[in-house]
């Protein structure tokens, strides 16, 4: 089975540009999470969805960040306008709420974003 | 406010010896804990977990110990292998209801030397 798919794997953009990161969760998973990893802050949750509905976006740093999940197999994280401090690795993860595995999240390979 | 803390940023051990990675937490409501392993340029992958009703969970070379009174858990790897070299994160879900949000520690880089 395919795991969580993220695209692009690497993104280099100039300050002020719009950036869109994409994620395809594992089929059948009803939770989707967006994380950001930086040296300073580690792995931090930005937002998560349940059945395509945003449940908790308290980790979204500011209004420049937005996330959508139009259907069960696709989600986007958009940064507009981007700033150098947004440079990080962004991970998407998904999980299924069945049984003891409910807490186990499956991560994608990440998108390394560099804003110059 | 870090609710899950991994105070050792790195650990180096010899192949064949035991690796012990530590994690402390502050939220006494946490009742389930997970360890993830991360290789460079990959996403974290689930390794092992433990419920607060247990004090030990073992899976092959990996054992997690939980000390609730000390709010401390540890991951033991015996024997350590060079392929175990990775960053290890401990994590805990927010308690209660259907909240599946995980809080991660900052990770410990384990290097196993041949």
Question: What pLDDT sits at residue B94?
Answer: 75
Mean pLDDT of B79-107: 86
Nearest by CB to B104, from A31, A42, A106: name it. A42
Question: What pLDDT sits at residue A33?
Answer: 95
Question: What pLDDT sits at residue B93?
Answer: 86
Which class for A9: exposed (0-12), middle (13-18), buried (19 or more C-beta within 10 A)? exposed
pLDDT above 60: residue B96: no
d(CA B52, CA A92): 27
Question: What pLDDT sits at residue A6?
Answer: 98
Antiparallel, parallel or unpaired: β B4-5 and B19-25: antiparallel
B105 pLDDT band, cuts 50/70/90, is very high
Nearest by CB to A109, from B42, B93, B99: name it. B42
Give tens-digit pLDDT for B10-44. 999 999 999 999 999 998 888 899 999 999 999 99
- Count Cβ atoms below 10 Å from residue A22 Cβ, excluding itself: 16
Q: Which residues of A touch B34 (CB under 8 A)?
A: 103-104
Question: What pLDDT sits at residue A41?
Answer: 87
List residues of chain B with CB under 8 Å from any CB of chain A.
32, 34, 41-46, 49, 51, 89, 93, 98-107
Considering only A86-95, B45-54, B91-100, which range has the smallest mean pLDDT?
A: B91-100
Question: Tokens for B61?
Answer: 């070379």
Q: Determine which of B43, B88, B101 to mutate to test the interface with A (most A C-beta atoms within 10 Å).
A: B43
CB-based contact, A25 to chain B, within 8 Å: no
Pick from B56, B101, B95: nearest CA to B75:
B56
Contact B32, B96 (CB under 8 A): no
pLDDT above 60: residue B98: no
How far B70 CA sits from the closest chain A CA (Å)?
A: 23
CB-based contact, A82 to chain B, within 8 Å: no
Scanning A49-68 for CB atoms below 8 A from B yields: 50, 56
CA-to-CA separations, B8 to B5, B48, B107, in angstroms, rounded: 9, 20, 8
Question: What pLDDT sits at residue A10?
Answer: 97
| Local confidence pLDDT in tens for the 116 residues of chain A | 689 999 999 999 999 999 999 999 999 999 999 999 998 888 999 999 999 999 989 899 889 999 999 999 999 999 999 999 999 999 999 998 766 566 889 999 999 999 99
Q: Which residues of B touch A97 (CB under 8 A)?
A: 98, 100
CB spacing of B89 vs A43 below 8 angstroms: yes
CB spacing of A4 vs B104 below 8 angstroms: no
């Amino acid at each position: 089975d395919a795991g969580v798919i993220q695209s692009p794997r690497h993104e280099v953009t100039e300050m002020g540009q719009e950036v869109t990161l994409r994620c395809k969760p594992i089929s059948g998973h009803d939770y989707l999470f967006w994380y950001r990893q930086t040296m300073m802050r580690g792995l931090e949750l930005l937002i998560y969805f349940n059945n395509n509905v945003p449940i908790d976006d308290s980790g979204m740093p500011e209004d420049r960040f937005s996330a959508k999940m139009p259907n069960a197999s696709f989600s986007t994280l958009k940064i507009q306008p981007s700033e150098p401090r947004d440079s990080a690795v962004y991970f998407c993860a998904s999980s299924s709420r069945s049984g003891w595995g409910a807490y186990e999240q499956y991560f994608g390979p990440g998108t390394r974003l560099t804003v110059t | 406010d870090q609710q899950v803390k991994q105070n050792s940023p790195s650990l180096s051990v010899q192949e064949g010896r035991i690796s012990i990675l530590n994690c402390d937490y502050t939220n006494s409501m946490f009742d389930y804990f997970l360890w993830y392993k991360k290789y460079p340029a990959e996403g974290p992958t689930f390794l092992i977990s433990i419920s607060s009703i247990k004090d030990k969970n073992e899976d092959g070379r990996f054992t997690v110990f939980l000390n609730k009174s000390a709010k401390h858990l540890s991951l033991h790897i015996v024997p350590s292998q060079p392929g175990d070299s990775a960053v290890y994160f401990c994590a805990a879900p927010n308690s209660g209801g259907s909240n599946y949000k995980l809080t991660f520690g900052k990770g410990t880089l384990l290097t196993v030397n041949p």
